[in-house]
Amino acid sequence: MDDFPQGIRKALFLDRDGVINEDKKYVHRIKDFVLLPGVIDAVRLARERGYAIVVITNQAGVARGYYGLADVDVLHSHLCKVFNQAGAAIDAIYFCPHHPAGKVAEFARSCFCRKPNPGMILKAARDLKIELKKSILVGDKVSDIQAGIAAGVGRTCLITTSTDEGCADDVAADANCTSLYEYVSQYCA
């Protein structure tokens, strides 16, 4: 990654389902979108501490034919509106509609953007002039942490619940927390 341009700002990269909202499997309708407690406060605090907020999310439901790109756009517009109205703006959302086992031919493939690959993070870093080594990635799956490490993000946090097993032996997050707010309030300086 030596040819990667140096960024000028730091970012808090957030997975969507399981970090920002309840993970109800293939959330794509506003009526099913339920924010997790403290998320807006966490985003507001991170912004106050100088972080750009970037959502990076796999949306395999598009490739699987459960919903379309327009559904993703509507939900993401809603998410941005809710956060903007609360004074906790999101700078950008990147999503991957691909899955190798998809049923929609256009999206049924492996790609560089689907986590655990770092494509979405690297694109955001280029687009938003983000310095990855000063940035943080928060996710709820090992694939999120793997993407952050592969992209060269400085710190990672795995959101876990009492039923989660944490990271695999060969992939370790820098922190494990039970919520985004817990991480931001304690570790995001």
Q: Which of 2, 3, 17, 144 is catalytic?
A: 17
Confirm if 27 and 17 have CB atoms less than 8 A apart: yes
For Cα atoms 15, 157, 9, give the angle at the middle one, nearest 5 degrees: 75
Q: Which amino acid is at 105?
A: A
Q: What is the DSSP letter of 32?
A: G
Q: Is 17 a catalytic residue?
A: yes
User: How far is it, in rounded angstroms, from Cα 63 to Cα 172?
Assistant: 29
Q: How far, CA to CA in Å, does 7 sit from each of 125, 134, 156?
A: 7, 9, 18
E strand segments, the chain: 10-14, 51-58, 92-96, 136-139, 155-159, 175-177
Q: Could you tell me the end-to-end alpha-carbon distance of the chain, in angstroms, rounded to an integer?
A: 26
Q: Which amino acid is at 149?
A: I
Q: Which of 2, 3, 15, 23 is catalytic?
A: 15
Distance of CA 81 to the CA centre of its chain: 17
What positions carry a catalytic annotation?
15, 17
